Amino acid sequence: MRQSILTMALAASALIAPTLAVAEDYITNGADIVKAAKWDTMETVTIELLEHEFVPQNLKLKANKPYRIVIKNNGEADHYYTAPAFFKSVAWRKVMTPRPHGGEIKAPYFDAIEAFKKGGTIELYLVPVKTGTYEVICTIDDHKQKGMSGTITVE
């Protein structure tokens, strides 16, 4: 009896929890995808980092559409936006911090972003390529357990 309850609980949790995608190889033809994308149709999405949550917690994006994702830390502590499987599943144009005192990085992929407290902002220019649901967490101390855990779903 005990075992069947456990089995039912496991089956129920499997229905509720999304199947999270694991990190595969990065997108090797990202430069071609970025070049072909229609950046004049780019959509801007803002993700706010707070104690202790991502707003929105569950981000939805469409594959093959260019985005500017603004990661903004409006909290009183530094926070991470760590999503290695997602960051490997997109074509990167660039990552930048805002003008006039910011800068840009161009790289095929990376694992984590840290935005500093009280307004730290980082902008991601990317095209989602692989569909799936990806985990995002803050890796500082116990922030994940306190609520800094979410998903990015590419449809």
Closest distance of CB 91 from Cu ion, Å: 27
Among 53, 67, 79, 85, which residue interacts with Cu ion (rule: CB under 5 A)?
79
- Confirm or reject binding of residue 138 to Cu ion (CB under 5 A): yes
- Confirm or reject binding of residue 112 to Cu ion (CB under 5 A): no
- Confirm or reject binding of residue 45 to Cu ion (CB under 5 A): no
Token pair belonging to 63? 């594959």
Burial of 102 (0-12, 13-18, 19+ CB in 10 A): exposed
Among 61, 95, 132, 143, which residue interacts with Cu ion (rule: CB under 5 A)?
143
Closest distance of CB 68 from Cu ion, Å: 23
For every residue of 67-135, DSSP letters joined together read EEEEEEE-SSS-EEEE-HHHHHSEEEEEEE--TTT--EE--S--SEEEE-TTT-EEEEEEEE-S-EEEE
Closest distance of CB 7 from Cu ion, Å: 36
- Confirm or reject binding of residue 83 to Cu ion (CB under 5 A): no
Whether the CB-CB separation of 33 and 90 falls below 8 Å is answered with no
Among 121, 131, 140, 149, which residue interacts with Cu ion (rule: CB under 5 A)?
140
Count of residues in contact with Cu ion, rule CB under 5 A: 5
Provide the residue type at 78 as one letter. Answer: D
Residues that bind Cu ion (CB under 5 A): 79, 138, 140, 143, 148
